[in-house]
Structure 1
Amino acid sequence: MITPHTSAFWRATLALCLGSFMVFTNLYVTQPLLPMIAEQFGVSALQSSASFTITTFTLGVSLLFYGPLSDAVGRKGIMLFTMCGITATTIILAFASDYQSLLFLRAVQGFFLAGLPAIAVAYMSDEFNADALMIAVGIYISGNSLGGIGGRLLGGFLGENFGLAGTFEFMALLSLVLTMAFFWLLPPSAHFAPKPLRLKPMLVQMGAHLANKRLLLSYLIGGLSFFIFVNQYSFITFVLKDAPYQLSAQFIGLLFLTYLSGTYASAISGKLGKRFSQPVCMMAGTLIIMLGTAVTLIPSLHTIILGLLINAFGFFLTHSTASSWVSLNAQGGKASASSLYLTFYYIGASTGGIYLNVFWQKGYWPSVVLGSWLMLLVILCLGYWLKKIGHSVKSKTS
């Protein structure tokens, strides 16, 4: 087994972090470019946002496929194959001549993007001892967040200076380099034990997770929170592109640095969960998102940025706590329970734009804020319900 701070530990951890960075930069690279996509292809705000949400949808659904498949045929090969698939689709995206082709390729890319996130922690569980695993998972999750931020920053900078095709060309080259580094750095699986791929037991286990109210409520809280949070960023890009702000794609990309407040919230969520209980932290996170959303109504670039900083802190407090709650309350099959959480999470991201677009069409950003508040009130009620039924496991989770 790989032990902490050895050469094998750093090689494997770095490989998985680079792979994670590649996945999430490709996932989020189009988000700051939504106004550019709308203008270039002559589509609406909702249609342009589909270039992001269709990818999160196919990613979320595919997560359920890769975990059981890797249990049967191995870890490293699938991760490497999907990274090659990401690189190939990114190259082809640079030559997309119409919006339908762009959407189709982004949907296919989402299928490949799910491979590494679904398997990486399972690989670490196979190959790392307990002490090394705890350290490596924390570093790996940091790679996830850096990939999300990096993808948006790269998208804004590259789109502004090289256009949409140039952005995908650069991302394809970056993906190729990172794939080669991943292949060279990641040690082969030494402790993997294949298991038969059996559909019925997997479906039974998934059904048991969905029948567990503590899990189902946390799935809904995480999914609906991302449903609102990530799609607010999609619509605010159109606000900031127009008067009086008139920000370029490059500066809109910088807007996603507000996620850094969420990195801090994730880091302290464990301590807060022990002190106040996890359902209370989920409710607090939701209230913080409501506050930040209201602050964005003040017509100033500084207050909009402040509101998004507040939102990111509240969302990641909710998300980190809900994710941890799933691991603590799953009755067996923790990996499949976590995969289901991520499926709800990414399907939430892929459908929230449709919901918020109804409000955008009615009254632009102030109506989006109203729609956000309505859904956040629902999430707050779900958190209260979870708090009521979670008393019996308070000692376990606190």
Structure 2
Amino acid sequence: MSRHTNSTSSSSSLQSSSAHAANQQLEQEAAVIESGFIERGKPGYRPTMLALFLGAFSTFVLLYCVQPLMPILSEAFDIDAATSSLSLSVATGMLAVGLLITGPISDALGRKSVMSVALLAAAIFSLLAAAMPSWSGVLVLRALVGLSLSGLCAVAMTYLNEEIDPRYVGLSMGLYISGNSIGGMSGRLISGVMVDWVPWRWTLAVIGIVALVAAVLFIRWLPPSKHFTPRPLNWRNVLSGFAVHFRDRGMPFLFLEAFLLMGGFVTLYNYIAYRLLAEPYSVSQALVGVLSIAYLSGTWSSAWAGSLADRHGRQRIFWLFIVMMLVGLAVTLFSPISLILIGILIFTFGFFAAHSLASGWVGQRATQAKGQASSLYLFSYYLGSSVAGTLGGAFWYWGGWHGVAAFIAVLLLAALAVGALHLRRLA
């Protein structure tokens, strides 16, 4: 018995020592970056991508962990589906508003400091939301979570475009977006499975703790900016920066794509749980959470699409992934649950590929006020999530899943028209 105890203790000590050594190595790599761009395979690339991956992971974990909980929240607070969806919509709505502020702030104060504060604050507000006794209190804290996360969302893509060697921006953006997909999957999976065993408040508290750990690692691993040039923070500079991007031939259409694609994506995941929990499926809440495994397809597709775009050009392949989303949506209209799951998988694959291409496209077209370019893209992205995600509730009451699917199809057809008729012609 003593020998077994000593062996176990020794094994734990070795694991702890290995983890500490790995952490030290990442920090050392982050510290030895020279004045040039961060290149794939060179010191600094690995800690940079791991840190940004964790930031993206935390963002989507914190935002979308409430999606599988919406039916539970409807029962806990005696509210309907559209009202329950506000737990997500207020967060994404405030995130969208915050993006217009935090982008310019990062142009003046720096990238890493703004992102670090954002992640810490969002984790803390999530822990407080778990303790709120009233629905209004939960919504206020969820709104603060969204507002805080705008500090990372507005800046991360700009940091990548400033610090990563241009040859690897497409791949790096894809890896960053894959953190979003894994975060969204994990948030839904953790909350969807845990809520079958523990109260929803404990579920949110666990997710808040996970996000807090991720924020600490982000701060330790992300290298300071080397190519950041401060831009004075005043309203004239802010407005002129916004005006520059709206005069561009492609930017306004990329912003519109963000609104349409994200609106359709969030609407599907908001209301698919209500469909599967009802007759004739009557699946468990845990199985609804397991549906988020479909996000793994987005983890691969975002990196793959970025690499593909580096070789062939975004304008040639972007619209194809919107067609893929439409195909996936059509498959969800069939009754067998196996086909519904396949449709969700195809839809998710296409969405993350399209989002990866569009977000990287914005970064490449922005020649000045890059933080504001990212802010405008993500403002449209999360505004689509907030507006369409809530409107989908009206279509659910009007026509069930077929009503929701019709609403999503309208959004995607508009996105396809913009992509095929306009963005495809851009240089």
Shorter-chain TM-score range: 0.7 to 0.9
Contact 1:224 1:379 in 2 (8 A): yes
Contact 2:177 2:299 in 1 (8 A): no
> Which digits, 9 at most, give the CA deviation of each residue in 1:39-91, with x for residues without a partner?
11111111111101211111122122222212222333322222221122112
> C-alpha separation between the residues in 2 aligned to 1:378 and 1:316?
18
> Which digits, 9 at most, give the CA deviation of each residue in 1:152-176, with x for residues without a partner?
1111122222221101221222233
1:46 aligns with 2:82: yes
Of 63, 84, 100, the match for 1:64: 100
Corresponding residue for 1:108? 144
Corresponding residue for 2:275? 239
Higher mean C-alpha deviation, range 134-143 or range 256-265: 134-143
Q: 1:148 to 1:347 in 2, by over 3 A?
A: same
CA RMSD of aligned residues (A): 2.7
Corresponding residue for 2:11? none
Report how far residue 318 of structure 1 moved: 2.8
> C-alpha separation between the residues in 2 aligned to 1:375 and 1:307?
17
> C-alpha separation between the residues in 2 aligned to 1:380 and 1:126?
30
> C-alpha separation between the residues in 2 aligned to 1:371 and 1:19?
31
1:363 aligns with 2:399: yes
Contact 1:9 1:132 in 2 (8 A): no
Corresponding residue for 2:343? 307
> C-alpha separation between the residues in 2 aligned to 1:63 and 1:350?
14
User: Aligned partner of 2:151: which letter?
Assistant: G
> C-alpha separation between the residues in 1 aligned to 2:222 and 2:312?
40
Of 315, 325, 347, the match for 2:383: 347
Contact 1:57 1:110 in 2 (8 A): yes
User: Aligned partner of 1:197: which letter?
Assistant: L
Higher mean C-alpha deviation, range 61-70 or range 297-306: 61-70
The 5 Å alignment of 1:280-299 reads 281-299=317-335
1:210 aligns with 2:251: no
Report how far residue 145 of structure 1 moved: 2.3
User: Aligned partner of 2:416: which letter?
Assistant: L
> C-alpha separation between the residues in 2 aligned to 1:221 and 1:192?
28
Contact 1:281 1:317 in 2 (8 A): no
Contact 1:231 1:349 in 2 (8 A): yes
> C-alpha separation between the residues in 2 aligned to 1:218 and 1:329?
10
Contact 2:190 2:289 in 1 (8 A): yes
Corresponding residue for 1:143? 179
Report how far residue 363 of structure 1 moved: 1.5
> C-alpha separation between the residues in 2 aligned to 1:250 and 1:54?
25
Q: 1:317 to 1:193 in 2, by over 3 A?
A: closer
**For this pair of structures, how many residues does the alignment match?**
391
User: Aligned partner of 1:310: which letter?
Assistant: I
User: Aligned partner of 2:261: which letter?
Assistant: S
Corresponding residue for 2:233? 197
Report how far residue 135 of structure 1 moved: 6.5
Higher mean C-alpha deviation, range 331-340 or range 168-177: 331-340
Query: SS of the residue aligned with 2:388?
Result: helix
Report how far residue 134 of structure 1 moved: 6.8
Of 243, 259, 269, the match for 1:223: 259
Report how far residue 261 of structure 1 moved: 2.5
Q: 1:223 to 1:101 in 2, by over 3 A?
A: same
TM-score, normalised by the number of residues in structure 1: 0.88
User: Aligned partner of 2:213: which letter?
Assistant: V
Corresponding residue for 1:322? 358
What 5-or-longer segments of structure 1 have no aligned partner? Answer: none
Contact 1:262 1:317 in 2 (8 A): yes
What 5-or-longer segments of structure 2 have no aligned partner? Answer: 1-32
> C-alpha separation between the residues in 1 aligned to 2:233 and 2:345?
44
Contact 2:327 2:346 in 1 (8 A): yes
Query: SS of the residue aligned with 2:280?
Result: coil
1:376 aligns with 2:412: yes
User: Aligned partner of 1:170: which letter?
Assistant: V
Corresponding residue for 1:79? 115
Contact 1:18 1:178 in 2 (8 A): yes
Query: SS of the residue aligned with 1:32?
Result: coil
Q: 1:266 to 1:252 in 2, by over 3 A?
A: same
Of 185, 188, 197, the match for 2:221: 185
Higher mean C-alpha deviation, range 44-53 or range 74-83: 74-83
Higher mean C-alpha deviation, range 74-83 or range 278-287: 278-287
Of 155, 167, 176, the match for 2:191: 155
Rg larger in 1 or in 2? 2
